[in-house]
Amino acid sequence: MIDISFEINGRRVDPHRMQDALEGAVLQSVKEKITSKIRNIRDQKTGLPPKIRVKGTSIRNLSFDIEGSEEVIKLVKEKLK
């Protein structure tokens, strides 16, 4: 399973537990789209999936950090273009 986490304004957030339901739905949609694009990517040696950290000052300003082997990071970047 792919580990996708969110950090907004320096605080870790869960899309299902956000006070603003619309923002939570947006983050859940982002998570689903990322998952659908990279669900089959695994490190060939270890079998581990990538870890994705979605960060930003708000849901309107998000960037992605990808953790994994060089090969995994390259594959994820290609899929998320």
Note if the pTM is more than 0.85.
Answer: yes
In a structure prediction context, what are the per-residue pLDDT tens digits for the chain, which is 81 residues long?
Answer: 899 999 999 999 999 999 999 999 999 999 999 999 999 999 999 999 999 999 999 999 999 999 999 999 999 999 998
C-alpha–C-alpha distance, residues 1 and 42, integer Å: 10
Residue 1 confidence (pLDDT):
83
Domains contained in the chain, number = 1
C-alpha–C-alpha distance, residues 46 and 14, integer Å: 28
Mean pLDDT of the chain: 96
What domain range is 15 assigned to? 3-79
pLDDT digits (tens, 9 = 90+) for 51-61: 999 999 999 99
Q: Name which of 41, 34, 35, 30 is nearest 74 in CA terms.
A: 41
